[in-house]
A and B are shown apart, each in its own frame.
Chain A
Amino acid sequence: MQVTIIDYGVGNLRSLQRGLERADATVTVSDDPAEIAASDALVLPGVGAFGECVRNLAPFRDVVVEAAADTPVLGICVGFQLMFTESTEGAPEGETIDGLDLIPGRVERLPSDEVKVPHMGWNELTVERDHPIVDGVASKTPQADGDYAYFVHSYGSSVADHTVAACDYGFDFAAIAATERGNVMGTQFHPEKSGDTGLRVLRNFVAFAEDWNDTTVTAE
Chain B
Amino acid sequence: MTLTKRIIPCIDVDLDENGDAKVYTGVNFEDLQYTGDPVEMARAYNRAGADEFVFLDITASADGRETMLDTVSAVADEVFIPLTVGGGIRTKADIVETLRAGADKVSINTGALQRPGLITEGAESVGSQAIVISVDARRRYDEGGEHYEQVDGESCWFECTVKGGREGTGTDVVAWSAEAEERGAGELFVNSIDADGTKDGYDIPLTRAVCDAVSTPVIASSGCGGPEDAYEVFTEAGADAALAASIFHFDEHSIDEVKRYLDERGVPVRR
Please give the residue numbers on chain A whose beta carbons come within 8 Å of chain B beta carbons, in ascending order. 11-12, 14-15, 18-19, 22, 47-48, 115-116, 118-123, 145, 148, 150, 152, 168-170, 192-196, 198-199
Asked if B77 is at the interface (CB within 8 A of a chain A CB), the reply is yes
Asked if B127 is at the interface (CB within 8 A of a chain A CB), the reply is yes
* A121-B7 Cα distance, complex, nearest whole Å: 11
* A148-B259 Cα distance, complex, nearest whole Å: 14
- Residues in A whose Cβ lies below 8 Å from that of B127: 47-48
Q: In the complex, are the beta carbons of B82 and A150 less than 8 A apart?
A: yes
Comparing B97-105, B188-196, B243-251, the segment that makes contact with chain A is B97-105
Q: In the complex, are the beta carbons of A12 and B99 less than 8 A apart?
A: yes
Please give the residue numbers on chain B whose beta carbons come within 8 Å of chain A beta carbons, in ascending order. 1, 3-4, 6, 46, 49, 51, 73, 76-77, 80-82, 99-100, 102, 104, 126-129, 186-187, 215-217, 240, 270-271
B87 CB, min distance to chain A CBs, angstroms: 19
- Residues in B whose Cβ lies below 8 Å from that of A122: 3-4, 6, 51, 270
Identify A15's interface contact among B1, B102, B129, B186, CB under 8 A.
B102
Identify B104's interface contact among A18, A169, A193, CB under 8 A.
A193
Q: In the complex, are the beta carbons of A12 and B100 less than 8 A apart?
A: yes
Q: In the complex, are the beta carbons of A193 and B217 less than 8 A apart?
A: no
Of residues A11, A118, A120, A123, which shows the largest number of chain B Cβ atoms within 10 Å of its Cβ? A120
Q: In the complex, are the beta carbons of B77 and A18 less than 8 A apart?
A: yes
* A22-B51 Cα distance, complex, nearest whole Å: 19
Q: In the complex, are the beta carbons of B80 and A121 less than 8 A apart?
A: no
Q: In the complex, are the beta carbons of A14 and B270 less than 8 A apart?
A: no
- Residues in B whose Cβ lies below 8 Å from that of A18: 76-77, 80
Q: In the complex, are the beta carbons of B240 and A193 less than 8 A apart?
A: no
B240 CB, min distance to chain A CBs, angstroms: 7
Q: In the complex, are the beta carbons of B80 and A12 less than 8 A apart?
A: no
- Residues in A whose Cβ lies below 8 Å from that of B46: 195
* A15-B80 Cα distance, complex, nearest whole Å: 7
B184 CB, min distance to chain A CBs, angstroms: 12
* A37-B102 Cα distance, complex, nearest whole Å: 27
Assuming the contacts A18-B77, A192-B80, A199-B80, asked whether A120 and B217 have C-beta atoms less than 8 A apart, the reply is yes
A51 CB, min distance to chain B CBs, angstroms: 14
A165 CB, min distance to chain B CBs, angstroms: 16
* A215-B15 Cα distance, complex, nearest whole Å: 53
- Residues in B whose Cβ lies below 8 Å from that of A193: 80-82, 104
* A14-B97 Cα distance, complex, nearest whole Å: 13
* A199-B216 Cα distance, complex, nearest whole Å: 28
Which 9 interchain pairs have the tightest Cβ spacing? A121-B3, A148-B270, A122-B270, A122-B4, A152-B129, A14-B102, A18-B77, A168-B1, A193-B82
Q: In the complex, are the beta carbons of A15 and B76 less than 8 A apart?
A: yes
9 A-B pairs in the complex with CB atoms less than 8 angstroms apart? A14-B76, A14-B77, A18-B76, A18-B80, A123-B4, A148-B270, A152-B129, A195-B46, A199-B80
* A10-B166 Cα distance, complex, nearest whole Å: 40
Of residues A47, A192, A198, A199, which shows the largest number of chain B Cβ atoms within 10 Å of its Cβ? A47
Assuming the contacts A12-B99, A15-B102, A122-B51, asked whether A116 and B216 have C-beta atoms less than 8 A apart, the reply is yes
Assuming the contacts A14-B102, A121-B3, A122-B3, asked whether A195 and B81 have C-beta atoms less than 8 A apart, the reply is yes
Q: In the complex, are the beta carbons of B128 and A12 less than 8 A apart?
A: no
* A22-B79 Cα distance, complex, nearest whole Å: 12
Q: In the complex, are the beta carbons of B77 and A116 less than 8 A apart?
A: no
Q: In the complex, are the beta carbons of B271 and A118 less than 8 A apart?
A: no
A114 CB, min distance to chain B CBs, angstroms: 8
- Residues in A whose Cβ lies below 8 Å from that of B77: 14, 18
